Structure 1
Amino acid sequence: MSSPLTHTLALPVCWITVARADSVPGALPDGFVDVQQAAPSIRLDLRYYTDHNFVGTRIDGYQASRAILTRPAAEALGRIQHELASFGLGLKLFDAYRPQQAAEHFMRWARDVNDTRMKAEFYPDVAKSALFKEGYIAEKSSHSRGSTVDVTLAPLHAANPAAELDLGTPFDWFGPESWPDSPAVTPAQRAHRLLLRLVMEKHGFQPYAQEWWHFTLAHEPFPDTYFDFPVR
């Protein structure tokens, strides 16, 4: 457990880093890299830079279609890409580093129970008023520490950039069907989930029990720091 002094020191370090990164457009804090530098073949489908997400609008902090991670997390994705390529597969990345301001945007949205424009696609069986209580929305996200990814499997050389393997639910589906071991999906869909989990675990990522797409680097370099520099 971190001491109070650790938490007192961590926040200034984080904000000093943010200020230095903001001084040069597109520059990143020490320890962070562009994912496509480490894994050039990875496919990006960065939903929070678009309006195709559960909120229905671009999310605060996403100013560019760019994926950012800590260096060890990005380099691990590069190794995963190399291994999957032998099967004609690769990763499709939905989200990587997420600014803390994005989590705050989600919280504001969750409190507005009248805004349900995306309910049919992302949470048809869950009342919006229950999203926070049931853990779908949180005040902080491991993504803001820079070593968490949301990914799926995709054909490596598909002509259609939207192509991906069927893992049983869309990304960001709010419901038990998204749990990795859900019995609601077919054997083939479960096999795809297992393949994704095994290759991610082999390269140092830990799965999350309620989202088949969510993985965090086990030995993340900033386990107690939530960053807020924008993606740009």
Structure 2
Amino acid sequence: MNSILFGQEVNRPDGFKEIKKEIPSVILEIRYFGSHNFIGKPIDGYQKSTAILSDQAIVALKKAAADIASKGMVFKIFDGYRPQRAVNHFVRWAKDEKDTLMKSEFYPDVAKKDLFELDYIASKSGHTRGSTLDLTLVYRTTGKEVDMGSPYDFFGKISWPFDTSITKKQQENRMLLREVMLQNGFKPYQCEWWHFTLNNEPYPDTYFDFPVE
């Protein structure tokens, strides 16, 4: 399938579903729909506070959700499929070195001009292929997030899965999330503890641009 870029696709194609409708236990906190994100504004293409994934990724995630439920936890989803127009928004923002509204919270130790070189921002994202998601764990009884040692979308080495500056318990929490995802067919990303992609993703070469709605 050819790459689909820059607003050429309007409606959600077959083969994608909303995570919450398929896995009711998940909690959604779609950061890019609102303003609590590294840009500080709603992101292009997010028209609804929901998360979408390919059918295949949802099947695997449902199994992972059952495994983590046995430990008294549920998944919180920050992002799933991401339209190409959202990635384009990130790129435009990254080129504007004067816009540092959220620097103190999300990238206090990184110069904005270095975001491309350090691979925090790129012109293409695995999320846009539809089988990548960002998530964490939440205790089912309290609704409190499990302590992972760094916030979601924090640009810095402390967000690397194997960073040693965090506590032993925080490391164990990261490994719990990592193991349950690995065991259910997802592969991790070396620079973000929250980021996972389905191993056999169905659209490995396609970057979609239908809105999240």
TM-score by length of 2: 0.96
Residue among 20, 23, 28 paired with 1:36: 20
Structure number with bigger Rg: 1
Q: Comparing 95-104 with 33-42, which one deviates more in the overlay?
A: 33-42
Residues 152-171 of structure 1 correspond to what in structure 2 (within 5 A)? Answer: 152-158=136-142, 160=143, 163-171=144-152
Whether contact under 8 Å (1:14, 1:225) holds in the other structure is: no
Residues 51-200 of structure 1 correspond to what in structure 2 (within 5 A)? Answer: 51-158=35-142, 160=143, 163-200=144-181
Q: For residue 198 of structure 1, what is the amino acid of its counterpart? A: E
After superposition, the C-alpha distances for 1:24-70 in whole angstroms (9 at most, x for unaligned) are xxxx3111011112211001011000100000000000000111000
Q: For residue 182 of structure 1, what is the amino acid of its counterpart? A: D
Matched, 1:207 2:188: yes
1:14 is displaced (CA, Å) by 11
Number of residue pairs aligned between Structure 1 and Structure 2: 213
Whether contact under 8 Å (1:55, 1:118) holds in the other structure is: yes
Higher helix share: 1
1:77 is displaced (CA, Å) by 1.4
RMSD of aligned Cα (Å): 1.7
- Extract unaligned runs of 5+ from structure 2: none
- Amino-acid identity (%): 51
Greater RCO, CA 8 A, separation 6+: 2
1:15 is displaced (CA, Å) by 8.0
Q: For residue 219 of structure 1, what is the amino acid of its counterpart? A: N
TM-score by length of 1: 0.88
- Extract unaligned runs of 5+ from structure 1: 1-8, 22-27
In the alignment, the residues of structure 1 paired with residue 35 and residue 7 of structure 2 have an alpha-carbon distance, to the nearest angstrom, of 29
1:12 is displaced (CA, Å) by 6.6
Q: For residue 165 of structure 1, what is the amino acid of its counterpart? A: V
Q: Which runs of 4+ in 1 moved over 6 A?
A: 12-16
SS in 1 for 2:2: helix
- Indicate the residue corresponding to 1:4 in structure 2: none
1:177 is displaced (CA, Å) by 0.5
Whether contact under 8 Å (2:138, 2:145) holds in the other structure is: yes
